[in-house]
Protein backbone atom coordinates (compact mmCIF):
# COMPACT_ATOMS: atom_id res chain seq x y z
CA UNK A 1 0.00 0.00 0.00
CA UNK A 2 2.74 2.45 0.98
CA UNK A 3 4.75 1.44 -2.07
CA UNK A 4 1.78 2.17 -4.34
CA UNK A 5 1.22 5.54 -2.67
CA UNK A 6 4.90 6.36 -3.22
CA UNK A 7 4.63 5.43 -6.90
CA UNK A 8 1.50 7.58 -7.30
CA UNK A 9 3.26 10.51 -5.63
CA UNK A 10 6.25 10.18 -7.97
CA UNK A 11 3.95 10.06 -11.00
CA UNK A 12 2.07 13.16 -9.79
CA UNK A 13 5.24 15.09 -8.99
CA UNK A 14 6.95 14.18 -12.27
CA UNK A 15 3.87 15.08 -14.32
CA UNK A 16 3.57 18.47 -12.60
CA UNK A 17 7.25 19.19 -13.25
CA UNK A 18 6.84 18.16 -16.89
CA UNK A 19 4.01 20.63 -17.42
CA UNK A 20 5.87 23.45 -15.69
CA UNK A 21 8.84 22.77 -17.95
CA UNK A 22 6.70 23.98 -20.87
CA UNK A 23 4.89 26.54 -18.72
CA UNK A 24 4.89 29.28 -21.37
CA UNK A 25 3.16 27.13 -23.96
CA UNK A 26 0.82 25.67 -21.34
CA UNK A 27 -0.13 29.12 -20.00
CA UNK A 28 -0.79 30.49 -23.50
CA UNK A 29 -2.98 27.51 -24.43
CA UNK A 30 -4.88 27.87 -21.15
CA UNK A 31 -5.56 31.58 -21.64
CA UNK A 32 -6.67 31.10 -25.24
CA UNK A 33 -9.40 28.74 -24.00
CA UNK A 34 -11.07 31.71 -22.32
CA UNK A 35 -11.86 33.40 -25.65
CA UNK A 36 -14.93 31.17 -26.31
CA UNK A 37 -16.37 32.34 -22.98
CA UNK A 38 -16.47 35.92 -24.21
CA UNK A 39 -17.97 34.99 -27.58
CA UNK A 40 -20.60 32.80 -25.91
CA UNK A 41 -21.70 35.64 -23.63
CA UNK A 42 -22.06 37.91 -26.68
CA UNK A 43 -24.00 35.14 -28.44
CA UNK A 44 -26.52 34.83 -25.61
CA UNK A 45 -26.70 38.61 -25.49
CA UNK A 46 -27.77 38.60 -29.16
CA UNK A 47 -30.31 35.83 -28.54
CA UNK A 48 -31.87 37.73 -25.63
CA UNK A 49 -31.57 41.01 -27.55
CA UNK A 50 -29.64 42.73 -24.79
CA UNK A 51 -29.82 46.50 -25.08
CA UNK A 52 -33.26 46.53 -26.68
CA UNK A 53 -35.23 46.10 -23.48
CA UNK A 54 -35.96 42.41 -24.08
CA UNK A 55 -33.15 40.91 -21.99
CA UNK A 56 -35.45 40.30 -19.02
CA UNK A 57 -37.78 37.93 -20.85
CA UNK A 58 -37.48 34.29 -19.88
CA UNK A 59 -36.78 31.27 -22.07
CA UNK A 60 -37.52 27.94 -20.41
CA UNK A 61 -37.10 29.53 -16.99
CA UNK A 62 -33.81 31.29 -17.80
CA UNK A 63 -33.40 35.02 -18.19
CA UNK A 64 -30.26 36.47 -19.77
CA UNK A 65 -28.41 36.86 -16.42
CA UNK A 66 -29.38 33.28 -15.54
CA UNK A 67 -27.96 32.00 -18.83
CA UNK A 68 -24.67 33.82 -18.35
CA UNK A 69 -24.39 32.50 -14.80
CA UNK A 70 -25.28 28.99 -15.98
CA UNK A 71 -22.75 29.08 -18.81
CA UNK A 72 -19.91 30.27 -16.57
CA UNK A 73 -20.63 27.58 -13.98
CA UNK A 74 -20.95 24.93 -16.70
CA UNK A 75 -17.54 26.03 -17.98
CA UNK A 76 -16.09 25.37 -14.53
CA UNK A 77 -17.59 21.88 -14.62
CA UNK A 78 -16.22 21.29 -18.11
CA UNK A 79 -12.80 22.49 -17.01
CA UNK A 80 -12.78 19.67 -14.44
CA UNK A 81 -14.38 16.98 -16.62
CA UNK A 82 -12.76 17.56 -20.02
CA UNK A 83 -9.85 15.26 -20.79
CA UNK A 84 -8.26 16.50 -24.03
CA UNK A 85 -6.07 13.90 -25.67
CA UNK A 86 -6.72 11.12 -23.14
CA UNK A 87 -8.73 8.71 -25.30
CA UNK A 88 -6.67 9.45 -28.40
CA UNK A 89 -3.45 8.92 -26.44
CA UNK A 90 -4.58 5.54 -25.13
CA UNK A 91 -5.64 4.43 -28.62
CA UNK A 92 -2.32 5.60 -30.07
CA UNK A 93 -0.33 3.71 -27.42
CA UNK A 94 -2.28 0.54 -28.20
CA UNK A 95 -1.90 1.00 -31.95
CA UNK A 96 1.86 1.68 -32.03
CA UNK A 97 2.82 -0.73 -29.25
CA UNK A 98 3.85 1.85 -26.65
CA UNK A 99 1.42 0.27 -24.21
CA UNK A 100 3.91 -2.57 -23.74
CA UNK A 101 5.79 -0.46 -21.18
CA UNK A 102 2.77 -0.72 -18.86
CA UNK A 103 2.66 -4.49 -19.31
CA UNK A 104 6.35 -5.09 -18.55
CA UNK A 105 6.73 -2.62 -15.67
CA UNK A 106 4.99 -2.64 -12.26
CA UNK A 107 2.90 0.42 -13.15
CA UNK A 108 -0.82 0.20 -13.85
CA UNK A 109 -1.65 2.14 -17.01
CA UNK A 110 -4.97 3.53 -15.80
CA UNK A 111 -3.47 4.54 -12.47
CA UNK A 112 -0.57 6.28 -14.22
CA UNK A 113 -2.88 8.16 -16.57
CA UNK A 114 -5.14 9.15 -13.69
CA UNK A 115 -2.38 10.78 -11.66
CA UNK A 116 -0.90 12.37 -14.77
CA UNK A 117 -4.30 13.90 -15.46
CA UNK A 118 -4.58 15.10 -11.84
CA UNK A 119 -1.25 16.87 -12.35
CA UNK A 120 -2.57 18.41 -15.57
CA UNK A 121 -5.60 19.82 -13.76
CA UNK A 122 -3.52 21.16 -10.86
CA UNK A 123 -1.25 23.07 -13.22
CA UNK A 124 -4.21 24.17 -15.35
CA UNK A 125 -5.97 25.75 -12.39
CA UNK A 126 -2.76 27.28 -11.08
CA UNK A 127 -2.66 29.17 -14.39
CA UNK A 128 -6.39 29.63 -14.95
CA UNK A 129 -7.56 30.68 -11.50
CA UNK A 130 -6.65 34.31 -12.18
CA UNK A 131 -8.61 34.60 -15.47
CA UNK A 132 -11.50 32.63 -13.95
CA UNK A 133 -11.62 34.98 -10.96
CA UNK A 134 -11.55 38.01 -13.27
CA UNK A 135 -14.36 36.70 -15.48
CA UNK A 136 -16.56 35.85 -12.50
CA UNK A 137 -15.88 39.23 -10.91
CA UNK A 138 -16.80 41.07 -14.11
CA UNK A 139 -19.99 38.97 -14.37
CA UNK A 140 -20.84 39.12 -10.66
CA UNK A 141 -24.10 41.00 -11.29
CA UNK A 142 -25.47 38.00 -13.21
CA UNK A 143 -25.42 35.81 -10.09
CA UNK A 144 -28.60 36.42 -8.09
CA UNK A 145 -28.59 33.23 -6.03
CA UNK A 146 -26.60 33.16 -2.79
CA UNK A 147 -25.85 29.48 -2.09
CA UNK A 148 -25.41 28.31 1.48
CA UNK A 149 -22.46 26.33 2.80
CA UNK A 150 -24.20 23.03 2.09
CA UNK A 151 -24.67 23.81 -1.59
CA UNK A 152 -21.11 25.07 -1.91
CA UNK A 153 -19.87 21.78 -0.43
CA UNK A 154 -22.14 19.82 -2.80
CA UNK A 155 -20.85 21.90 -5.72
CA UNK A 156 -17.24 21.13 -4.76
CA UNK A 157 -18.04 17.42 -4.51
CA UNK A 158 -19.81 17.51 -7.88
CA UNK A 159 -16.67 18.95 -9.50
CA UNK A 160 -14.58 16.08 -8.13
CA UNK A 161 -17.18 13.61 -9.44
CA UNK A 162 -17.19 15.40 -12.81
CA UNK A 163 -13.43 14.87 -13.02
CA UNK A 164 -13.74 11.17 -12.20
CA UNK A 165 -16.62 10.54 -14.60
CA UNK A 166 -14.92 12.50 -17.38
CA UNK A 167 -11.68 10.58 -16.92
CA UNK A 168 -13.37 7.17 -16.83
CA UNK A 169 -15.54 7.88 -19.87
CA UNK A 170 -12.60 9.01 -22.00
CA UNK A 171 -10.39 6.16 -20.81
CA UNK A 172 -13.11 3.66 -21.71
CA UNK A 173 -13.36 5.11 -25.22
CA UNK A 174 -9.59 4.83 -25.61
CA UNK A 175 -9.57 1.20 -24.45
CA UNK A 176 -11.92 0.27 -27.29
CA UNK A 177 -8.76 0.45 -29.44
CA UNK A 178 -7.93 -3.04 -28.16
CA UNK A 179 -10.72 -4.22 -30.47
CA UNK A 180 -10.75 -1.45 -33.10
CA UNK A 181 -7.32 0.05 -33.74
CA UNK A 182 -8.77 3.27 -35.18
CA UNK A 183 -11.22 5.04 -32.85
CA UNK A 184 -10.97 8.62 -34.15
CA UNK A 185 -14.45 8.51 -35.70
CA UNK A 186 -15.93 7.06 -32.53
CA UNK A 187 -14.12 9.70 -30.47
CA UNK A 188 -15.55 12.46 -32.67
CA UNK A 189 -19.08 11.13 -32.16
CA UNK A 190 -18.46 10.88 -28.42
CA UNK A 191 -17.27 14.49 -28.25
CA UNK A 192 -20.37 15.74 -30.06
CA UNK A 193 -22.70 13.69 -27.86
CA UNK A 194 -20.81 14.78 -24.76
CA UNK A 195 -20.99 18.46 -25.73
CA UNK A 196 -24.76 18.28 -26.16
CA UNK A 197 -25.83 15.87 -23.41
CA UNK A 198 -23.54 17.30 -20.74
CA UNK A 199 -25.43 20.60 -20.84
CA UNK A 200 -22.44 22.52 -22.15
CA UNK A 201 -24.35 23.72 -25.21
CA UNK A 202 -27.71 24.45 -23.54
CA UNK A 203 -29.22 23.49 -20.16
CA UNK A 204 -30.70 20.00 -20.16
CA UNK A 205 -34.02 21.28 -18.83
CA UNK A 206 -34.47 23.02 -22.20
CA UNK A 207 -34.79 19.65 -23.92
CA UNK A 208 -38.21 18.69 -22.60
CA UNK A 209 -38.97 14.97 -22.57
CA UNK A 210 -35.66 14.16 -24.25
CA UNK A 211 -33.87 16.08 -21.51
CA UNK A 212 -35.69 13.97 -18.93
CA UNK A 213 -34.19 10.83 -20.49
CA UNK A 214 -30.76 12.47 -20.45
CA UNK A 215 -31.03 12.72 -16.67
CA UNK A 216 -30.33 8.97 -16.48
CA UNK A 217 -27.00 9.26 -18.35
CA UNK A 218 -23.63 10.12 -16.80
CA UNK A 219 -23.05 13.06 -19.15
CA UNK A 220 -25.14 15.52 -17.14
CA UNK A 221 -22.69 15.28 -14.24
CA UNK A 222 -19.92 16.70 -16.43
CA UNK A 223 -21.32 20.26 -16.72
CA UNK A 224 -25.05 20.63 -16.10
CA UNK A 225 -25.22 19.17 -12.61
CA UNK A 226 -22.52 21.34 -10.95
CA UNK A 227 -24.09 24.47 -12.44
CA UNK A 228 -27.59 23.39 -11.46
CA UNK A 229 -26.51 22.97 -7.83
CA UNK A 230 -25.37 26.58 -7.37
CA UNK A 231 -28.31 27.95 -9.37
CA UNK A 232 -30.67 25.94 -7.12
CA UNK A 233 -32.12 24.03 -10.05
CA UNK A 234 -31.66 20.85 -7.99
CA UNK A 235 -34.10 20.74 -5.02
CA UNK A 236 -32.61 20.26 -1.55
CA UNK A 237 -34.40 16.94 -1.08
CA UNK A 238 -32.93 15.58 -4.34
CA UNK A 239 -29.36 16.78 -3.87
CA UNK A 240 -28.11 13.78 -1.87
CA UNK A 241 -29.79 11.37 -4.27
CA UNK A 242 -28.19 13.01 -7.31
CA UNK A 243 -24.75 12.96 -5.70
CA UNK A 244 -25.29 9.29 -4.87
CA UNK A 245 -26.20 8.53 -8.50
CA UNK A 246 -23.04 10.30 -9.66
CA UNK A 247 -20.99 8.17 -7.25
CA UNK A 248 -22.77 5.11 -8.66
CA UNK A 249 -21.73 6.08 -12.19
CA UNK A 250 -18.13 6.43 -11.00
CA UNK A 251 -18.27 2.88 -9.63
CA UNK A 252 -19.88 1.47 -12.80
CA UNK A 253 -17.39 3.18 -15.11
CA UNK A 254 -14.45 2.15 -12.93
CA UNK A 255 -15.47 -1.50 -13.16
CA UNK A 256 -16.05 -1.15 -16.92
CA UNK A 257 -12.53 0.25 -17.35
CA UNK A 258 -10.96 -2.56 -15.34
CA UNK A 259 -12.85 -5.21 -17.31
CA UNK A 260 -12.06 -3.58 -20.67
CA UNK A 261 -8.35 -3.29 -19.83
CA UNK A 262 -7.97 -6.84 -18.52
CA UNK A 263 -9.81 -8.37 -21.47
CA UNK A 264 -8.09 -6.11 -23.96
CA UNK A 265 -4.65 -7.10 -22.71
CA UNK A 266 -5.51 -10.78 -23.24
CA UNK A 267 -6.11 -10.22 -26.94
CA UNK A 268 -3.43 -7.57 -27.42
CA UNK A 269 -1.26 -8.31 -30.45
CA UNK A 270 1.78 -6.18 -29.42
CA UNK A 271 1.84 -4.15 -32.65
CA UNK A 272 4.64 -1.67 -33.15
CA UNK A 273 8.21 -1.50 -31.90
What pLDDT is stored for residue 221 in this prediction? 95
- Please state, as a whole number, how many other Cβ atoms lie within 10 Å of the Cβ of residue 62: 20
| Mean pLDDT confidence for 242-268 | 92
- pLDDT for 64-106, tens place per residue? 888 889 999 999 998 899 898 899 899 888 888 888 887 777 7
User: pLDDT tens-digit profile of 123-133?
Assistant: 878 777 877 88
Could you read off the pLDDT of 5-16 as tens digits, one per residue? Answer: 777 777 777 777
How does pLDDT run across 106-154, given as a tens digit for each residue?
A: 778 898 899 889 988 888 787 778 778 888 888 888 888 788 888 999 9
Amino acid sequence: MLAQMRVNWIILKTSVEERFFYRGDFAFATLVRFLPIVTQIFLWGAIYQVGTGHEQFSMNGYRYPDMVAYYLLAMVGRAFSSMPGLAGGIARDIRDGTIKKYLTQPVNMLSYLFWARVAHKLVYYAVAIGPFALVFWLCRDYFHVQPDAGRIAAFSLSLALAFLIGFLLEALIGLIAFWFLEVSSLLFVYMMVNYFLSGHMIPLDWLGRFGAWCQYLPFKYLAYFPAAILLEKVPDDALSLELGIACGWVAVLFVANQVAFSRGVRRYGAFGG
